[in-house]
Amino acid sequence: MSSQNPPLSAGNNLDPWYYNYAERTAGLAASEVRALFAVASRPEVVSLAGGMPAVSALPQELVIDSMNRVMREQGSVALQYGSGQGVPALREQILDVMAMEGIRASADDVVVTTGSQHALELVTKLFIDPGDVVLAEGPSYVTAIVIFRSFQAETHHVAMDEHGMIPESLRENIARLKAAGKKIKFLYTIPSFQNPAGVTLSWERRLEILAIAKENGILVLEDNPYGLLHFDAPPPPALRSVEQDGVIYLGTFSKTLAPGFRVGWALAPHAIREKLILANEAAVLSPSSFSQLVISEYLDTIDWRAQVDRFRGVYRERKDAMIGALTEYLPNLKWTDPDGGFYVWLTLPPYLDSKQMLPRAVKELVAYTPGTAFYADGGGRNNIRLSFCYPTPEAIRVGIRRLQNVINGEIDLLETFSATGPLETVRDRNFSAPPPNLD
């Protein structure tokens, strides 16, 4: 933003307060995922774009009963302000949730937040000064990139393959950035059923990456919304189960219960926890007492582990439907085959641009998220994130069939107008992602 304050009538900008905004607002922009919601919500469109949980698989009577009991027995507390750290009973129950991934901790080090994304924003606010560096997998969670940018951080991507983040790429990035005099504040990672790639960091690499971070004095921010949503074997134990002092762990009930409650948490080393509580209080005063008490009641009275198993079955069926449809309709493309979570990462021929192709997809009544949304540096142009979490298996098949029409139509168009002769088509060539990463 300009440091000058011209008259409100100056220029042609439609926002009369444009020159009054803080510089950091330049980093605020609607993500490509958010921009798709208006289109994807149309009933005739099959949305393979947003990562919306299948809340229809949650019996409503279970939640209604919990709400009723909270209001009857704790109504005056539920409707009042609460602690900036969160309801003590819920923080104790969160320990049981994290124990399923090998984490042993104290409830004193848990800070409840308004969703785990809020925790991510608080951590970024605590650590990032303009020009600082965040290391993140490439590709990475779209809103994390937006948050880092809004605090004027530089996001540098670490390459991935089918086993997750590549340790050697992490070492190379650290060495390059240090040689350039850059200050690396933390490493952001989604190690289990990663968003958007769907891959899981292997146990051996988890240990190696923790060792690299410790050797270089880099804090690790472990974001784990999908860790309990495995299809067969669970993922390796969480990074936080191995390293306590160098890892902040982020969790949420949005994927294993419902996102509408907006309840997540951070498990942080003691000194960081204290600052997180202060930042939480400064931002929201206190997370919703009502939402916390309803979730606490749910966890106390319902077999929530069985409900998580039910979600696993739903997502497994939908993932299988997507992989089956891709195999049938787009057999010569490459994609990841996740062992849990919500997402498949599709690689197109290198001459296709998924973002430019999106209007054609909308016309064909299918929505997806272009790969460029998941890179801070413009990468991912020939990638697509496909979400199998929300549509039914039947809708997924329809959506992939429509996507086939979109891709083939785009290839035919390029062949027609190519100045260098016909392009190799998807039907004639087996395209694979360039090793070793997922670009």
Give the tens place of pLDDT for each residue, 77-135: 999 999 999 999 999 999 999 999 999 999 999 999 999 999 999 999 999 999 999 99
Give the tens place of pLDDT for each residue, 274-312: 999 999 999 999 999 999 999 999 999 999 999 999 999
Give the tens place of pLDDT for each residue, 353-381: 999 999 999 999 999 999 999 999 999 99
pLDDT band at 426 (very low <50, low <70, confident <90, very high): very low
- CATH architecture designation of domain 60-301: 3-Layer(aba) Sandwich (3.40)
pTM score: 0.90
Question: CA-to-CA distance for 30 and 145, rounded, in angstroms?
Answer: 11
28-57+307-417 fold: Aspartate Aminotransferase, domain 1 (3.90.1150)
Residue 38 has pLDDT above 80, yes or no: no
Q: Which two tokens stand for residue 71?
A: 């209001």
Q: Which two tokens stand for residue 337?
A: 């085959």
Peptide bond between residue 139 and the one before it cis (omega within 30 degrees of 0): yes
Every domain range in the chain assigned CATH 3.90.1150.10: 28-57+307-417
For residue 386, give the H/E element and its range.
Answer: strand 383-387
Backbone angles phi, psi at 369, to 5 degrees: -110, 120
Every domain range in the chain assigned CATH 3.40.640.10: 60-301
Beta strands in 218-321 (DSSP E): 219-223, 247-252, 264-267
Residue 195 is which amino acid? N
